[in-house]
């Protein structure tokens, strides 16, 4: 039986805030505790902290990176998918998630949410983490209102909400 796969998306290393880092670590930890698999973009910032949180709780971590060389992945990825397709890998991160958690983030995070929205996947955004999570939390990305980006207060609620949405 395949386990649920949850993506954590958000700030990369350059612009990550302390609040986002902390929330990402907690999100990774909660995903692991819930018995789900962590999927992410495999690089720094939110991605790295989520992986670290998952590994500290015996989780399984998958990094789907833009490069074709696994050495670019953060060292907390158990498995590295070296796509070699650049930032088009954002499509694959979103496509490989049963649900997504946004923490801070810029336009790359918005791209991933857009793809997930098109596929009607459960999406949550942790409030107070800045950037895309704060700006797009609670909204629909287009007028069809296929799936709302649910604003949640913390990592624990984030994971619980995704499981609830998955039914």
Q: Which residues bind its own copies (CB under 8 A)?
A: 1-3, 5, 15, 37, 60, 62, 64, 68, 70, 73, 75, 77-88, 91-92, 95-96, 98, 105-108, 110-111, 114-115, 117-119, 130-132, 135, 141-144, 146
| Structure token pair of residue 67 | 């490069």
Q: How far is the CB of 76 from its own copies (least distance, A)?
A: 10
SS3 of 131, please? helix
Between 74 and 161, name the residue whose CB sits nearer to its own copies.
74
Q: Is the dihedral of CA 149, 116, 155, 130 positive or negative?
A: negative
Q: How far is the CB of 105 from its own copies (least distance, A)?
A: 8
- How far apart, in whole angstroms, are the C-alpha atoms of residue 154 and residue 49? 15
Match 């049963």 to its residue by tokens.
98
From the list 43, 3, 2, 20, the residue with the least C-alpha distance to 101 is: 20
Contact 95, 121 (CB under 8 A): no
Between 4 and 157, name the residue whose CB sits nearer to its own copies.
4
Between 67 and 157, name the residue whose CB sits nearer to its own copies.
67
Between 106 and 154, name the residue whose CB sits nearer to its own copies.
106
């Amino acid at each position: 039986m395949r386990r649920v796969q949850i993506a954590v998306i958000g700030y990369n290393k350059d612009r990550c805030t302390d609040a986002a880092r902390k929330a990402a670590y907690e999100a990774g930890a909660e995903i692991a505790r819930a018995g789900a698999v962590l999927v992410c973009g495999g690089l720094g910032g939110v991605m790295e902290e989520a992986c670290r949180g998952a590994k500290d709780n015996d989780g399984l971590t998958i990094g789907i990176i833009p490069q074709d060389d696994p050495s670019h992945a953060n060292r907390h990825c158990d498995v590295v998918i070296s796509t070699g397709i650049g930032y088009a890998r954002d499509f694959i991160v979103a496509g490989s998630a049963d649900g997504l958690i946004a923490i801070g983030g810029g336009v790359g995070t918005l791209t991933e949410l857009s793809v997930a929205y098109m596929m009607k996947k459960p999406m949550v955004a942790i409030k107070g983490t800045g950037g895309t999570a704060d700006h797009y939390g609670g909204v629909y990305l287009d007028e069809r209102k296929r799936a709302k980006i649910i604003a949640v207060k913390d990592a624990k609620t984030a994971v619980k909400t995704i499981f609830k949405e998955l039914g």
